[in-house]
Amino acid sequence: MRKILFISGSSNLEATYKKFGNLNVLFDYDGETVRKWFDKTILVWFPAPNDLILNLVDDFEINEIKIPLGRLSLLGFTICVLKCVCKVHKEQVNIIRSWDPYLSGFIGYIVSKLVRVPFCISIHADYDKRWELDGPACGATVLGSRKVANLLAHFVLSRTRIVMPIRESLANYAIKHGARPETIRIIPHGIDLNPFLSPRNSFASPTTSFKKEFGLEGKRIVVFAGRLSKDNYVYQILEIAKKVSEKRDDVIFALVGSGNEEENLKKRVKEEGLENVVVFFGFQLQHKVIEFRKNADVNLCLMGGFSLIESCASGRPVIAYDVEWHYELIKNEETGFLIEEGNTDRVTEKIISLLNDEQLAQRLGTNAKKLAIEKHSMENTSKIKISVYEELLKG
């Protein structure tokens, strides 16, 4: 029997449902092949609004842990550790995996030592870069301190047998913060590509019903879909929108999503007189987000994780900043445009060029889609993840 315990301190059931409109992302995270490879997957979330155990399906269980006095209290930490230890013993768990190198990683490490079960950590972001862009809002602090968080990450990563960055660029981040090079195993994110594989209209003729539904008839569409937060360069998107509007009057910047900067952004749009250029569509269910991406004239993904993969898979041209891992998918002038960070003039120029050159847009979009399928299909990424888990079990 193969069973895995995931430990995450970055979300909960309510927040996940609110963000995606369903819980499918939990099953898609490692792909059905990986999930079925395990006889049972147990996800532990903390802190949560309430203590609960929920069996979504027979082989997938969610445990939420309510932490009294805050998750950083000694009592809260002890409760998390003890509940995880009990769950490992009860379910005879074979592998423990934490989703970040901070508190989740520390709890996973302690639990693995107590129960003598193999432990690994996955790295999902360059937290240094996120801190630079969005400070404490990025969540990469412990006791309110970035320094303490880095010390904890170094302690955990230097003692972890397998560290699993989700992309090549994060391997350097993990090593910088204590991971030994020989422990690194890249496990690329996989996404369900089926919604992107259906036939689409020609690039010059986005779906008429889509434009009608969202009041975009007669407009060219630049789409940003993601969290409205500083680490996604959302204020620079407004700069770009203003510059594009000075050159063309038929372009709408569609901002799809919500976030902590939403109200400030709306205020800025009003102050700048951009109400007819920047339109907020708020939270949308995942299938609607995909429609936006597939019907975009340009997908603007200055910073992205899943969103960059989806943008490329849409078959529409993508513009991204040359930061973090973007070079892995955006090959400049081959699969999109990779622009120097902060160069809004250059982004504006490339948006205009794509709007004016449909042949170029089609070529870049087609190439990006092909690369996204090659690197991030569930079939390919599942094989990689299973091989890493097999290695961990063999010891």
pLDDT at position 174, please? 96
Give 336-353 pLDDT, tens digit per residue.
999 999 999 999 999 999
Bridge partners of residue 64, in order along the sequence? 45, 52
User: In whole angstroms, how far apart are CA 65 and each of 34, 94, 98?
Assistant: 25, 21, 15
Looking at the chain, how many residues does it have? 395
pLDDT at position 32, please? 78
Q: Which residues are CB-neighbours of 106 under 8 A, at least 6 positions away?
A: 152, 155, 156
CB–CB of 83/63 below 8 Å?
A: yes
313 DSSP assignment: H
**Residue 54, SS3?**
strand
Backbone φ and ψ of 108, nearest 5°: -60, -40
Taking residue 216's Cβ as centre, other Cβ atoms within 10 Å add up to: 18
CA angle (187 as vertex; 48, 179 as ends), nearest 5: 80
More confident residue, 12 or 145: 145
Task: Indicate if the pLDDT at residue 19 is higher than 70.
Answer: no
pTM of the model as a whole: 0.82
218 DSSP assignment: T
Domains of the chain in start order, with CATH, are 3-190+377-394 (3.40.50.2000), 194-376 (3.40.50.2000)
Rounded Cα distance, 2 and 41, in Å = 9
CB–CB of 364/318 below 8 Å?
A: yes
CB–CB of 103/71 below 8 Å?
A: yes
Rounded Cα distance, 250 and 218, in Å = 7
CA dihedral 24, 30, 36, 38 (to 10 degrees): -120
CB–CB of 104/65 below 8 Å?
A: no
Q: Counting Cβ atoms within 10 Å, is residue 390 exposed (0-12), middle (13-18) or buried (19+)?
A: exposed
CB–CB of 79/67 below 8 Å?
A: yes
Give 177-222 pLDDT, tens digit per residue.
999 999 999 999 888 888 888 654 433 344 668 888 999 999 999 9
For 140-155, what is the mean pLDDT? Answer: 88
**Mean pLDDT, the chain, integer:** 90
Amino acid type, 211: K
Task: Indicate if the pLDDT at residue 264 is higher than 80.
Answer: yes
253 DSSP assignment: E
**Beta-sheet pairing, 337-339 with 318-321:** parallel
Distance of CA 110 to the CA centre of its chain: 27
More confident residue, 65 or 85: 85
Q: Which residues are CB-neighbours of 178 under 8 A, at least 6 positions away?
A: 153, 154, 155, 156, 157, 158
pLDDT at position 199, please? 55
**Residue 249, SS3?**
coil
Give 79-135 pLDDT, tens digit per residue.
889 999 999 999 999 999 999 999 899 999 999 999 999 999 999 989 998 888 888
